[in-house]
Amino acid sequence: MSDWVRSIRRFPSFRKWKFVLAFSPLFLLLSGAILRQLPSVRADERSAGPFVLELSLDGEVEPILATYIDEGLADAARRHAALALITMDTPGGLSDSMKDMIQHILASPVPVAVYVSPTGARGASAGFYILLSADIAAMAPGTHAGAASPIIAIGGFPQQIDEVFRRKINQDAMAFLRSFTVQRKRNPELAEKAITESRAFTEKEALDAKMIDLVVNTTEDLLRQLDGRTITRFDGTQVTLALKNASRAAFELSARQKFLARIVEPDVFFVLLILGVLGLYTEFTHPGVIAPGVIGGICLILALYAMHFLPVNLAGLFLIGLSLAFFILEAKAPSHGVLAFGGVVSMFLGAIFLIRSPLTSGGVSIGVALAGTLPFAVLAVVLMRLVLRSRQWKTATGKEELIGSQGVAVEPLTAGAEGMVRVHGELWRAESSSPVQEGEPVRILRVEGLKLYVEPANVAVAAAK
C-alpha cells in the first residue's frame, strides 16, 4: 500500500467519510422512498396534445371518495388537463361529502364533465346535485337521476318530521341547488322538483328539460362531441374545448384510500367502535388475555380515525357510553333485566343517531345496529358477572390454599412442640395447640414460613357443631 493511501487513511475525517460512504446506499433508498411519497410538482408536464384525466365516482358519496375527487381535480390542474371527466354511478350519500365535491368542482381551474354511466347507472340524491354542478352534465342511455329530497333517516329508513321543519330543510336544499344551477343555466325550476316532489328523470327527460347537456353512449362519444364546444365556466369565462385525439389517463384510488373508504362507511365505523370497546372491556375485566386488548385497541383507533371524517353526532356516542354503564350495573346489581333492556335500547338508539347527515340518508342501518347491540349486551353482562363471581372464589394457590385444609400427623404431636404432618402428599413441620396422636387428622390454622400451625380436626368439627 502506498504512502499516499496510508496518509489518506490516517486523515482524521477519513473515518467519518468511510461511515457516510458505507451508509450511502441506505440513504439513497430512503430518499427515494420519501420522494415517491411527496406530491410531484410537474409544472412543465403539459402533454404534446390534449389530455383528459378520468375519475370514477362509484358507490356511496362519503369522505374518502370526496378526498379522492378533490385530489383528482388538483392533479388535473397540475397536469394542465383539457378536461376532468368524472364517471358516476351513485345512490347518494353524506351531505357534507357532497358539498365538498361540489365546491371543488365549481372552483376547479380545469373544466369538469360528470357522466352518469354505464347503462343502468344512476345519479340519485347527492349524485343529482353533483351532476348539475359540473361544467358539462351528460348521461348514458338507460340511466336516471334525481330523487334528491332531503330526508331525516334513522337506520336508513326515512322518518316523519314536522312540516315546518321539513319546509325549512327543503328551502335550504333548494337554495343550495339554485346557487349553481342558475349560473349553469340548467332549468332550476324543474330541478327543484327533484327536491320538493322527489322526482327522478330519465336521460331523455333530463335532456329535454335542459338539466343536462348531452346523452351519449360511451366516453369516446362524449369526448368527440365536446371537441370544439365552447362552454361557460362558473366564473363566467368562456372556454373552447380542444379534445381531438386527446390522451386519457385514469386517476385511481390509492390502496390507502380503498382501505379507508371501507372504514368510513357508517356500518363499518359502528362495528369497529363496538369491537374496540368490547375488546378493551374484555382485557380490563380479564387481564392477561392480551388478544382482545390488541384487537380492540386497533379497532378503536381505526374508529377514532373514521370519526375525523364522518359527521358524528355526539348524542349517539353518549348513548353508546350510557349503554355500557347500564350493562355493568346489570351485572353488579341484577335488576331483573331492566338495566339490560335499557342498555340495549340506549345502544340501539346511539347506533342509529350516530351519523348526522341532514340532506341525505347516510347512517348506520337497523340490521347492523341490532346485530352489534344484542351480542355486545350479552357479552358485557356475562363478562362482568364472571369477574364479580371470581372475586368470591377461594385462593387456589400459595400459602392461602393450605389454610383450612386437612392433613395427617405422621408422628405424635405434643402441645407446643414441633412434629411432622403430611398435607397433600407433602411433609411439613407443624406445631399443634393440643396433643395429636400419630395418624390422626389435623386442620391447618395458619402458615408461617415453612411451619404449619394446626389443631386436631375433631376439635374443629366439634366446635362447628
Domain boundaries along the sequence of the chain: 51-255, 264-390, 399-464
What is the identity of the amino acid at 428?
W
What is the identity of the amino acid at 149?
S
Write out the three cell numbers for 108.
Answer: 376547479
Name which of 136, 134, 68, 73 is nearest 109 in CA terms: 73
Task: Say how far apart CA 204 and CA 415 lie, in whole Å.
Answer: 109
For residue 90, the 8-state DSSP code is B
For residue 213, the 8-state DSSP code is S
DSSP 254-289: PHHHHHHHHHTSHHHHHHHHHHHHHHHHHHHHSTT-
pLDDT of residue 161: 59
Name which of 348, 352, 347 is nearest 363 in CA terms: 352
Task: Say how far apart CA 137 and CA 131 lie, in whole Å.
Answer: 6
For 127, 220, 317, 394, 457, the CA distances from 445, given in Å and listed in that order, are 79, 94, 53, 15, 11
Give the CATH architecture of domain 51-255: Alpha-Beta Complex (3.90)
CA 457, 458, 460: angle at the middle one, nearest 5? Answer: 65
Q: What crossing angle do the helices spanning 291-307 and 266-285 adopt, rounded to 10°? A: 140
CB 370 within 8 A of CB 348: yes
Task: Say how far apart CA 364 and CA 356 lie, in whole Å.
Answer: 10
pLDDT of residue 51: 95
Q: Spell out the per-residue pLDDT of the chain, length 465, in tens.
A: 445 444 444 544 444 434 333 334 433 333 343 333 344 333 344 556 899 999 999 988 888 899 999 999 999 999 999 999 999 999 888 888 899 999 999 999 999 999 999 999 999 989 999 999 999 999 999 999 998 877 655 444 455 556 777 788 888 889 999 999 999 999 999 999 998 888 999 999 999 999 999 999 999 999 999 999 999 999 999 999 999 999 999 998 878 877 877 887 888 888 999 899 888 888 887 777 788 889 999 999 999 888 877 778 888 889 998 988 888 887 777 677 788 888 888 998 888 888 865 444 557 878 888 888 888 888 877 777 776 676 555 555 556 667 778 899 998 888 888 899 998 878 888 998 888 888 899 988 888 888 888 888 877 554 444
pLDDT of residue 12: 45
CB 70 within 8 A of CB 100: yes
DSSP 313-368: -HHHHHHHHHHHHHHHHHHHS--TTHHHHHHHHHHHHHHHTSB--SSS--S--HHH
- Strands of 51-58's sheet in order across: 214-215, 136-139, 112-116, 83-89, 51-58, 247-250
Q: Do domains 51-255 and 399-464 have the same CATH topology?
A: no
Domain 399-464 in CATH: superfamily? Nucleic acid-binding proteins (2.40.50.140)
Residues 6+ apart with CB under 8 A from 8: 14
Task: Say how far apart CA 1 and CA 260 lie, in whole Å.
Answer: 60
Write out the three cell numbers for 2.
Answer: 502506498
Task: Say how far apart CA 312 and CA 93 lie, in whole Å.
Answer: 14
Name which of 395, 394, 428 is nearest 409 in CA terms: 428
Burial class (CB in 10 A: 0-12, 13-18, 19+), 183: middle
Task: Say how far apart CA 439 and CA 150 lie, in whole Å.
Answer: 89
Burial 241-274 (b: 16+ CB within 10 A, else e): bebeebebeebebeeeeeebbebbbbbbbbbbbb
